Amino acid sequence: MSDSEQPQIYLITPPEFELSRFPAQLAAVLDAQEVACVRLSLATRDEDRISRAADACREVTIARDVALVIDTHIAMVARLGLDGVHLTDGARTVRYARKELGADAIVGAFCGASRHDGMSAGEAGADYVAFGPCGATALGDGSRAEAELFDWWSQMIEVPVVAEGALDADLVRGLAPVTDFFGIGEEIWNSDDPTAALADFVAAMG
């Protein structure tokens, strides 16, 4: 980071949720903490379910002036009135997404633990680059985005960076000086009280 500002929260939805319950949960979390952006990150490929979830989340985020982006589905951004897209394939579709969505849309890229992919995504026009997972997880190939990557990025690259994946309070404390955003999702949604869980993460950032 270019200065000593505290990182911002980039909230990630659960991979599936009840439309009858989740919007109220989301609203409570957004009312309790300042959140920069929400990412709709559903496991389903069902367009109707994604559309209904996006509509429900958008009502909550628009009322609070919080940006809402969607995983992967570039073509759904304009149709659903969203603020942008989060790409999960590194730098590969950043240029295409920027061309399709225009200069004002948010285009972010998840680049795993690859410094090269991150730089390529930034050069292709990504608004932010996400690295992860930061903690130990059974998902993926076992590789992790280590603190050294964020430290190097914060010193060398101006594109904002997101730390995400299997975060805990210790990781957040360690990475806070060298990341711009923390991508926090199931870390709080899997708890009994997401609002309190997020407050614990925010406390660790300080």
CATH number of the domain bearing residue 134: 3.20.20.70
Burial class (CB within 10 angstroms; exposed 0-12, middle 13-18, buried 19+) of 116: exposed
Is the residue at 101 inside a domain? yes
**Contact at 8 Å (CB) between 84 and 77?**
yes
Q: What is the DSSP letter of 177?
A: G
Is the residue at 1 inside a domain? no
Q: pLDDT under 50 in the chain at which residues? A: 1-3
Domain that holds residue 107: 8-205
E strands in the chain: 8-12, 35-40, 67-71, 84-87, 106-110, 128-131, 161-164, 181-184
Is the residue at 80 inside a domain? yes
pLDDT of residue 186: 96
Is the residue at 165 inside a domain? yes
Find how far residue 54's CA is from the centre of its chain: 15
**What kind and span of H or E run contains 170?**
helix 169-175
Is the residue at 20 inside a domain? yes
Is the residue at 110 inside a domain? yes
Both tokens of 72, joined, read 């992967």
What is the number of domains present in the chain? 1
Q: Which of 142, 114, 18, 9 is nearest to 67 (CA)?
A: 9
**Contact at 8 Å (CB) between 165 and 183?**
yes
Is the residue at 199 inside a domain? yes
**Straight-line distance from the first to the last Cα atom of the chain, in angstroms, rounded to the nearest whole number:** 15
Q: What is the DSSP letter of 178?
A: G
Is the residue at 178 inside a domain? yes
Say what angle helices 47-63 and 22-32 make with each other, to 10 degrees.
Answer: 30
Instruction: Give the global pTM.
Output: 0.96
